[in-house]
Every structure is written in C-alpha cells, then in structure tokens.
Structure 1
C-alpha cells in the first residue's frame, strides 16, 4: 500500500556479503520523500525515488523491488538481481514487550542469515554474491536515537550471526540506555536484552561486555576508518547524517555458566556508532 501523507519514517536494510565484498540497499520513505540508499566498501550513495509502495510483502521503489525472495536493482550506474534462500527470522520480536509502546524508533530483524545467488553491476564492475550471506532488518518511527551503537555480522568461520544495538531510549517522559542483542549460533538463538535483565558491564566504541543470567558476551571492535555517510531520520525527515563502516574487525566471545560457547573473529562486520553529545 501507498502511505499518503507519510508520517515519520520507514526503512529496510538489505545487506549482501561475500568475503570482503559487501553491498547494502536501504529503501525507505519519510516525510521528506521516498529514497534508496546504498553502502559498499567504496562509499555511500543516495537516490531519490518518485514512488515507493509495499504490497504483499514486496517493496517497489520505481524500477527496483525488494522482497523475502530477493531484490532487483535498476539505479543510475547500478543494476542486478540477487536471489535469497529461506530467510532466518528470530523466534520472536526483537523489541520484546516494548513493541506494545509508542517508541521513537522501532527495530525489527527479518533475517539473521540467508544464502545468496546473483550479482550487482556497479559502474562497470560486477559484485558477485554467489554463495554469500544476507541479512535484513527494518526500522520505523520518527527519529534514530540521539546516541547509539549498532553492529551486525554473520560472516564467521562457524555458523553464527550477531546483531546488537545499545541506544539512548526516550520512554514515557524519561529515558534509559536500552540494549537488544540477538545471536544465532549453530541453530540456537541467544537473546540478551533490557527486557530480559541484561547488564551492560562495559560499553565503549571498541569494547562491549554484557551479562544476563548465566550468559556473558564480550565484543571487541576494530574499525579501520570513520565510515561512510548515510542519511538518517530526524523528526520524520531524512535530515540527519550518520556514518556506517563496512568490514570492521570483530572478535566475539560468548560464555554460558562459565563455559565457552564460542570465540570467533570476522573482518566483515557492519558498524555504526553515534556518540552522546548531550541534549
């Protein structure tokens, strides 16, 4: 359906990764208009879209479309088609009980990891994603948090996918530091979240430590650069700028009852960090 008089924003993040190669498409709509953003190793681009509609789970943005089956891209200097294997959603909504409350930004994880087939040609160069892995999420609301960390990675030596966000959350006239983290390792889902009593033991741009019951998670991050600029929503309009880094080095370690579940490294994490500059 087409949302006339769009209020707030709604955007999807379709990430495609194979080794060092990564391309993510971000179709969306906001009070300032419809758009598609692209981020890759080479940088970020923004495209205005004359019309974006959602029907039967398919996002149609001018001559591009995105769905649970894959995506078809026709943009200036960019074309291609990528087919998705079966999506891997979480067992339940990542927002937990907060999905029932009005929120500044509502987050959804549509697939932690799925296989890819196909390619995208950008400026004459073919990015092949045959045998690669995909990830899909969605955000909606009015604004991104004023400060937050977000990271996602599903390219590890073992079957593992991680998504984490720690953010300043306005709520019912007050605010708190909220955390959502989902890990799917060898078919088992681990969930660490504010609504499950997670404790943020350490939180810097380079190091995160979370504890929750019998679980302990440590993440060490090494970002080689400041990232590429993407437009972000502020009061319903895409008027703010954030920076996302591709191919960040991540070392992830998870323990349960003191026993190591995994210790994995990847050079292919996506990463955003927006510091708190106060009100």
Structure 2
C-alpha cells in the first residue's frame, strides 16, 4: 500500500514570457497552495486540501484544480483558466520503479494542452487565451538531495519536453536516475534509466542523453536564480528550492544521422539542486 507523506500537483500555464504555475499539495506539516509567476512566488497555507476519489480534482478553500482547468481566489491572485484536451504519456513515466517504494514518485499527467482564460496577478492581469499548459504530480517522502528538472513547451514548432535527472536512493544504494519525455510530430519519445539510457554528459552547461540510435543534446545557455519554493523533506515542507521560468535552453534531437529537431526557447522552466 502506497502511503505518501507528501503529495503535490504542478499546474503550469504559459503564454510567451508569462509563466504562472500553481502547486497545491499536502504534507505532514499541512496543506498549501504555492504560486510562482515571473515577478515572485508565494506559499499560501491551507486548512485542508481535498482530492476526489479518482485523484483528478484537487480542492482548497477558494480554489479548484483539475484536468478541465483551474479556478483560484487567493490574496492578490485570482482567475479562471480552462484546458483543452490533455496529452498524457502512453504509460507511467516511472516504468517498473512504480512498483517499488521510492523516496519520490513522479507522474506526468499532460505534456501539453491549450489554455483559455486569464489571471489577475499582483499589479497586472495576464491573458492566457491560446497559451499552453503542462501538468505533473509528485508524491513520496522527500525530493532528491541532488536533481535537475527541466520542462519546456515554448518553441517555434509544436514540441514539449520534460527531463528529470537525480541521485536516487534505492535499496541501500544510490544511482543516477533519468526520466525524460519528448512529444514532437505527434509522437512520444522516451529516455529512461529502465530503458537503458546513457548519461553521456551532465556538465553545468550541457547534458547529453543517448539511448539506442537516439541522441538528445541539451544546452543550458542561460539560467537565472529564480524564485524560492518550499519543498518536502521527510514529509515536511521544510526544504527550499529555486525555480526559474525564463531559462534559455537549446534542444537538439537526432535519430541515427537524421536530425529530428534543433529548437531553442527563452522560456524554459528549470530547477537544479544543487548540481549533479
């Protein structure tokens, strides 16, 4: 029986340089809704969080988060955004590791979906009509002590990329883990430890993943310090991470000698704690 000490959902909304993410969650230290936007981040403690039986809707006082969209009424932050059809992965991103007790389990609920609606933020309003959304979930006991998380859908062509590299404690050992999904040209491509991915390079400015005939090169061209978010440590929200939503990243994806794409974004979301 899986009894996580924390659960958190990540609802990301992006249109150009405007990215706003809501993170409703609950831990042993209580329930909360965190918000991060270009100018800042805030954590709102909640008296309770309710998750429906299917785990598809999350409710907090004044807030609703679900697969069809969100409605929020928080101090200084309010609005509604509806979602178009979600783009789920073909199977659990954790692969066979979903059957084992893990420090942290990750789930990708939608690689991309269209947005309609707007939000009022401190000092300004943002129209998200025609923007793109991304949705994921984490649960477990603690975030990894060392990890890199990267997500981007802001490209000149339809493409969505998710990547997580981490030092994973497992059965008394620690190993470098990788889960990565690429949605491009109507197809899903996956790089993962359980599928034999090789971490060919994990330097501060370049990451190279190789798996079979596929090669994914990631160039971290610019990163900012980002804004502080609370993170779980032993079931309590006592940790702190920083997330940047305006990282400049280039992605180059080859299959054999064929270049599938070479795309750069100025608005990627990035967390690196502290370095791999």
TM-score by length of 1: 0.95
Contact 1:7 1:31 in 2 (8 A): no
1:93 match: secondary structure: coil
Distance in 1 separating the partners of 2:150 and 2:205: 11
Partner of 2:14: 17
Q: After the TM superposition, which of the residue ranges 218-227 and 151-160 deviates more from structure 2?
A: 218-227
| Structure 1: runs of 5+ lacking an equivalent | 1-5
Shift of residue 124, structure 1, vs aligned partner: 4.2
Contact 2:251 2:262 in 1 (8 A): yes
Shift of residue 7, structure 1, vs aligned partner: 5.3
Q: Deviations over 1:236-258 (max 9, x none)?
A: 00000000001111100000012
Shift of residue 99, structure 1, vs aligned partner: 0.4
Partner of 1:173: 172
Q: Deviations over 1:59-85 (max 9, x none)?
A: 001110100000000000111000000
Q: Deviations over 1:19-47 (max 9, x none)?
A: 00110000000000000001111011110
Q: Deviations over 1:98-120 (max 9, x none)?
A: 00000000000000000000000
Distance in 2 separating the partners of 1:196 and 1:98: 12
Partner of 1:252: 251
Aligned length: 272
Q: Aligned-pair RMSD on alpha carbons?
A: 1.2
1:195 match: secondary structure: helix
Question: Is 1:192 matched with 2:201?
Answer: no
Question: Is 1:27 matched with 2:24?
Answer: yes
TM-score by length of 2: 0.96
The equivalences for 1:66-215 within 5 A come to 66-215=65-214
Contact 2:106 2:138 in 1 (8 A): yes
Shift of residue 227, structure 1, vs aligned partner: 1.2
Distance in 2 separating the partners of 1:15 and 1:243: 16
Contact 1:253 1:264 in 2 (8 A): yes
The runs of at least 4 consecutive aligned structure 1 residues that moved more than 4 Å come to: none
Question: Is 1:45 matched with 2:42?
Answer: yes
| Structure 2: runs of 5+ lacking an equivalent | none
Shift of residue 58, structure 1, vs aligned partner: 1.1
Partner of 1:233: 232
Distance in 2 separating the partners of 1:68 and 1:205: 35
Contact 1:70 1:81 in 2 (8 A): yes
Contact 2:49 2:59 in 1 (8 A): yes
Q: Deviations over 1:89-141 (max 9, x none)?
A: 00110000000000000000000000000000012411110000000000000
Change (3 A) 1:149 1:7: closer
